[in-house]
Amino acid sequence: MKDTKVIELEEVTIRFSGDSGDGMQLTGTLFSDATALFGNDISTFPDYPSEIRAPQGTVGGVSGFQVQFGHKEINTPGDDAHVLIAMNPAAVKANARFIRPGGTIIYDVDSFNQKNLDKAKFTTNDPFGELKLEDFTKIPVPITSLTRECLKDFGMDNKSVLRSKNMFALGLICWMFDRPMDYIENFITTKFAKKPVVVESNLKVLHSGYNYGMNMQHMTPRYLVDAAAIEKGTYRNINGNQATAWGFLAAAEKAGLNLFLGSYPITPATDVLTTLAARRDLGVKTFQAEDEIAGICTALGAAFAGDLAVTSTSGPGLALKSEAIGLAVMAELPLVVVNVQRGGPSTGLPTKTEQSDLLQALYGRNGESPVVVLAASTPSDCFYYAYLSCKIALERMVPVILLTDGFLGNGSEPWRIPSMAELPAITPRIAKDSSKFKAYKRDEDILARDWAFPGMDGFQHRIGGLEKNEEGTVNHDPENHQRNCEIREAKVQKVVDMLPELEVFGDEDGGDVLVVSWGGTYGHTVSAVREMRKDGKNVSLAHFNFIKPLPANTREVFSKFKTIVVCELNLGQFAAYLRDQVPGFEYRQVNKLKGLPFTVTELKENVEKLLEE
């Protein structure tokens, strides 16, 4: 049968959606991995409900996974989906606003019964009319009944059969987008190697979905998206939490130290812990503590003992760790704290993204307690900033807080795996001459003390949370405390000589509007600025990864632009920080606090309003 409709696109956005138990995260991940192996650039956005298992069929229980891929550079998971795969009415209701006009909705028609319509709180028997989706292409597919028919001879119970229906949807989408299924087949075969029935049933349903698309070409359009032109190298699809963990592994190897992670499981940071716990073969020591305080205190003990020490957490956990971070500041031990930000306050929106822990990272401790603060921009560069955080901590004897977020931690993109030779050297400040050793004697240029740990003969010293003098003796002298507080702050500021200067995407010589962003908003802000510049708008971007200290040329860059617009997923924390640290400019703000990343469209609308003014 000849294709009746082939749509060629530069990039495509797909959103998989269904109940938490429908396997949408796995479906989206497998499709994304297959797409990355095909050669497309991709960006993904898993969207989980916060309840472990909300009532089945309700809007609150909908789980989604969005992926954008194309044959050009992809920086975001896309604003709105070209194609929505909906496993029930609630999935359509939850995602109606995320489908672009004229988009395609593929839905499991078997699930659109009165019971499920009632659960999703539809008031009529026409959910698409009720949601004003009449102008969209709607493709009803009997996914549930076809899955049952496919597996009728397997002797499986109904619950086990329905677990496989996500494979039918995956096979259909692979046909629509001409994705090779070798990787998916290998994944299923490997993952369920000890359960032959599961392997055989999932593979059969997968191919049935693919064949359904092939046989129903008059209903299902095909999309053609060519492979992207990318730098040669060995690539893998990686999410931000994996990349962060691997950055720590690389730093430990480069520094010649053992890696220790003391942590407590917390969404969305737990994958950093589980990824490192699986690498005992690389000498990693992980400790799952009974609470956040114990997690960081064990890491501090490891730092004192001479390990590369890391602790991981998310928003509420960072608050609990604050006292021990202050101890690391006073003891001047190298420690890296990863905070995968989420919606707050309190438990807030644990599965949603936000950037509202910035001021907590900068100031959330008692006393004058300065630390270095970095923020990663993309899932893959979490590797680089985790690595750099370790380098700064070990070479400058200072705690470092690395800010990622739920969008980065769970999102994924292709990553070119670097060789160890490409990574910068890490030289820990390990004390060498015991005859000249004083615990708090400092390098005059960088103000860092030397690192001596148990087992080093002749380097015994006192350590703890009380203020000390250069000799390491407890000292309550007012002048000594003032001097040491100033030194600890100056030591953090001197890290600026390890950082690159702030770069401008756009007009380096200045212009009308400078969009300023930081951390995980990079993909959306750079995409918005790129599109506005194509439209002839005089807009540029300065994106920050280094928060404390700020890049040395920050004021110089800002002074070249008429208007500065700070875009962030909070109510203005970075804008407030810039007003304090780089005064003299009028900072305009674009803020969002919905548990969702920016969209390119809303950023363009807000910045263009300012241009009109």
> In angstroms, what CA-CA distances link 425 with 88, 193, 336?
53, 41, 18
Output the domain CATH number for residue 131.
3.40.920.10
By residue range, what is the domain housing residue 118? 6-224
542/491 same-domain check: no
The answer to whether the CB of 348 falls within 8 A of the CB of 405 is: no
* C-alpha distance across the termini of the chain, in Å: 56
263 domain-assigned = yes
DSSP 366: S
Beta bridge partners of 375: 403
169/207 same-domain check: yes
338/448 same-domain check: no
Cα 28 to its chain centre, rounded Å, is 16
The answer to whether the CB of 305 falls within 8 A of the CB of 454 is: yes
173/31 same-domain check: yes
150/42 same-domain check: yes
204/63 same-domain check: yes
Helical (H) or strand (E) element with 367 = none
* Per-residue pLDDT at 5: 63
* Per-residue pLDDT at 610: 84
373 domain-assigned = yes
229 domain-assigned = no
Number of domains comprising the chain: 4
The answer to whether the CB of 368 falls within 8 A of the CB of 326 is: no
Residue range 178-208, pLDDT digits in tens: 998 999 999 999 999 999 999 999 999 999 9
* Per-residue pLDDT at 3: 46
Please identify, among 176, 191, 224, the residue that sits at the C-terminal boundary of a domain. Answer: 224
Q: How far apart are CA 585 and CA 589, in angstroms?
A: 13
Please identify, among 169, 204, 224, the residue that sits at the C-terminal boundary of a domain. Answer: 224
Instruction: Count CA atoms within 13 Å of residue 456 on its CB side.
Output: 18
Instruction: Count CA atoms within 13 Å of residue 405 on its CB side.
Output: 28
Closest alpha carbon to 86 in 168, 19, 163: 19
Across the chain, how many H-helices and E-strands are there? Answer: 22, 21
Output the domain CATH number for residue 605.
3.40.50.920
430 domain-assigned = no
Closest alpha carbon to 423 in 260, 272, 247: 247
428 domain-assigned = no
Q: Centre a 10 Å sphere on the Cβ of residue 57 and count the other Cβ atoms it contains.
A: 20
336/454 same-domain check: no
* Per-residue pLDDT at 2: 44
120/16 same-domain check: yes
Q: Which residues contact 581 (CB under 8 A, 6 or more apart)?
A: 550, 554
Q: Which residues contact 539 (CB under 8 A, 6 or more apart)?
A: 506, 511, 512, 513, 514, 515, 529, 532, 533, 607, 611
Q: How far apart are CA 276 and CA 284, in angstroms?
A: 7
* Per-residue pLDDT at 56: 84
* Per-residue pLDDT at 53: 66
460/367 same-domain check: no
The answer to whether the CB of 563 falls within 8 A of the CB of 514 is: yes
> In angstroms, what CA-CA distances link 233 with 39, 415, 421, 424?
12, 9, 14, 19
The answer to whether the CB of 539 falls within 8 A of the CB of 584 is: no
Token digits of residue 493: 């500021």
Helical (H) or strand (E) element with 425 = none
Q: How far apart are CA 267 and CA 290, in angstroms?
A: 15
> In angstroms, what CA-CA distances link 553 with 224, 496, 500, 546, 563?
45, 10, 9, 12, 17
* Three-state helix/strand/coil letters over 227-255: CCCCCCCCEEEEEHHHHHHHHHHHHHHHH
The answer to whether the CB of 307 falls within 8 A of the CB of 300 is: no
427 domain-assigned = no
230 domain-assigned = no
The answer to whether the CB of 5 falls within 8 A of the CB of 41 is: no
231 domain-assigned = no
Output the domain CATH number for residue 348.
3.40.50.970
The answer to whether the CB of 41 falls within 8 A of the CB of 70 is: yes
Q: Going by DSSP bridges, is the β-strand pair 259-263/308-313 parallel, antiparallel, or unpaired?
A: parallel
The answer to whether the CB of 226 falls within 8 A of the CB of 35 is: no
The answer to whether the CB of 339 falls within 8 A of the CB of 357 is: yes
Beta bridge partners of 34: none
Q: Which residues contact 141 (CB under 8 A, 6 or more apart)?
A: 106, 107, 108, 109, 172, 212
* Per-residue pLDDT at 445: 97
333/445 same-domain check: no
DSSP string covering 499-552: SPPPP-BS-TT-EEEEEEEEGGGHHHHHHHHHHHHHTT--EEEEEESEEESPPT
> In angstroms, what CA-CA distances link 565 with 176, 541, 578?
41, 9, 11
> In angstroms, what CA-CA distances link 511 with 177, 237, 250?
42, 37, 40
Please identify, among 398, 422, 446, the residue that sits at the C-terminal boundary of a domain. Answer: 422
62/146 same-domain check: yes
Which residues of the chain are modeled with pLDDT < 70?
A: 1-5, 52-53, 217-221
123/205 same-domain check: yes
The answer to whether the CB of 82 falls within 8 A of the CB of 51 is: no
* Per-residue pLDDT at 1: 41
Q: How far apart are CA 98 and CA 78, in angstroms?
A: 10
Q: Let me know if 378 is exposed, middle or buried by CB neighbors in 10 A (0-12, 13-18, 19+).
A: buried
